[in-house]
Structure 1
């Protein structure tokens, strides 16, 4: 259970490039890193924060930042701390996402709303009155959003952390917003909840990270944790590969899954003793056991 209040602190916004700021999550659980990206004509907000009050603060910040420019909103995937504030932007911003994420919002959004409300009183309060918003614009695989003098690339990655992951890049600033494909100082989040949700794929996630790591962006904005450079992509890729190798090595020896979990967990903690989110190691092992050929 979580007793803290996952509040977005817009006062901590940091300017990282011309007309581009990030509201950092300050390592607060269930608070994402949020981007506000401007061009001469429009401003794009990346992520809403958890629930209406957080989204209202983000919208107010973005509106002041925009100074009359048109507003757009996108989210990296459908999970509540990233997207369950989108309804607040209705009528104020155009909400656009990839088709697979739109499908996730419609099919799994209500279930995740109920699940997250059970995480603790603070989270439940943040989610009071939430209705899962439907996007205004849905694209298939790629969308180039012209903000005026700055084009932002929205790209569906295919199934990985979720079925509808999307990466947002700002080429002129060398920046990449990864959502939960990448975390900093934290084990990769595997939302493996059979039989309710088994869309996460460790194997496909590795393939996605191989493509992203090859792009070598200047700045990487992870879903959670401190911003960094291409080393965040490389570190996530290395961890996922190691998790797969250690899991499949033991799976090949016909160990029972509980033994595999215990041994792989020990190996991962030995490699990354300071990382948060240790509970996600077991979920990752279970996912990769299911994907073992």
Structure 2
């Protein structure tokens, strides 16, 4: 996709590349979750993969003896209804919980469907993002039109049932899942989900495969993303060396997913700050670093996020 994400900055929140833009002249793809593709990556732990579809996250269904936790909803009511029905079939009468890695509509934009059926838990910073940025994001995504707008028909910002501060250990019965806020990175309210007995980590959009990191840096509307803090988060996550990593989008894999993102963020920071130290103009820095990163990572998608990431790190250098 070649599109300037700056054109989609909402007054109430962050911007993302326009999924309503045509890709290579093709119609906008429907961001449909395909529950039939679910696969077990550890005993009692399933992932509904994104199949590399735009605005479709990897979704987790984590089972214990007494309860089942769902990670992410997909975008809109119909997707979330499929996910809920699938989770209920897996649970077979066990209690249901829901959590989301961050507030963006493709991750949390179906949580209302779970009301009364599951307990929705999130970290406090994510709850704040939902409340303050959620409405603007829903309107922005509806503005993309087509199947995205249709998916969001009737969607409203969800209200979590449980909001935690420093971390939450969820006992599913013989399996404890750790919900851990990371601090600022991709958003202010990122959290990761750890399944220690299986060695599995759900990262949300802190880590994705085969693409440039999404940097929603759009002052004055949104400056919550932090390249410096994101790199620190990835250092910690990589040091934890999980057996399996479930990224926000892209293929499930091993700990190399974390080190690849960490190394890219370090590369991005170092190349940007090297030029910033030489007093180059930001526009010159952006042009040079953009070209360099494309040359080094020619197969990655999401190149529209390179320039915002450079501007973010230039600002952080100045601070």
TM-score, normalised by the number of residues in structure 1: 0.98
Residue in 2 aligned with 1:207? 232
Q: Is the aligned partner of 1:98 residue 2:98?
A: no
Q: What SS does the aligned partner of 1:71 have? A: strand
Q: Is the aligned partner of 1:218 residue 2:243?
A: yes
- Per-residue deviation at 1:66? 0.5
Q: Is the aligned partner of 1:266 residue 2:305?
A: no
Tell me which of 119, 133, 149 is aligned to 2:144.
Answer: 119
Q: What SS does the aligned partner of 1:186 have? A: coil
Residue in 2 aligned with 1:254? 279
Q: Deviations over 1:125-148 (max 9, x none)?
A: 111111000100000021000000
| Counterpart mapping for 1:78-157 below 5 A | 78-157=103-182
Tell me which of 181, 184, 189 is aligned to 2:206.
Answer: 181
Moved over 6 A (4+): none
Q: What SS does the aligned partner of 2:203 have? A: strand
Residue in 2 aligned with 1:66? 91
2: CA distance, partners of 1:102 / 1:221? 22
- Per-residue deviation at 1:276? 0.8
- Per-residue deviation at 1:283? 1.4
1: CA distance, partners of 2:280 / 2:77? 46
Q: Is the aligned partner of 1:166 residue 2:191?
A: yes
Residue in 2 aligned with 1:8? 33
Q: Is the aligned partner of 1:77 residue 2:102?
A: yes
Q: Deviations over 1:13-33 (max 9, x none)?
A: 011111110000011111000
For these two proteins, the number of residue pairs brought into alignment is 293
1: CA distance, partners of 2:46 / 2:235? 27
1: CA distance, partners of 2:179 / 2:294? 34
2: CA distance, partners of 1:187 / 1:164? 20
- Per-residue deviation at 1:171? 0.4
Q: What SS does the aligned partner of 1:105 have? A: helix
2: CA distance, partners of 1:261 / 1:5? 33
Tell me which of 9, 13, 19 is aligned to 2:44.
Answer: 19
2: CA distance, partners of 1:143 / 1:19? 20
Q: What SS does the aligned partner of 1:173 have? A: coil
Q: Which moved more, 1:220-229 or 1:186-195?
A: 186-195
Q: Which moved more, 1:110-119 or 1:34-43?
A: 110-119
Q: Deviations over 1:174-233 (max 9, x none)?
A: 000000000001111111122211100000000111100000000000000001111000
Structure 1 regions of 5+ residues with no counterpart?
none
- Per-residue deviation at 1:121? 1.6
Q: Deviations over 1:217-257 (max 9, x none)?
A: 00000000001111000000000000011111112222222
- Per-residue deviation at 1:118? 2.3
- Per-residue deviation at 1:120? 3.8
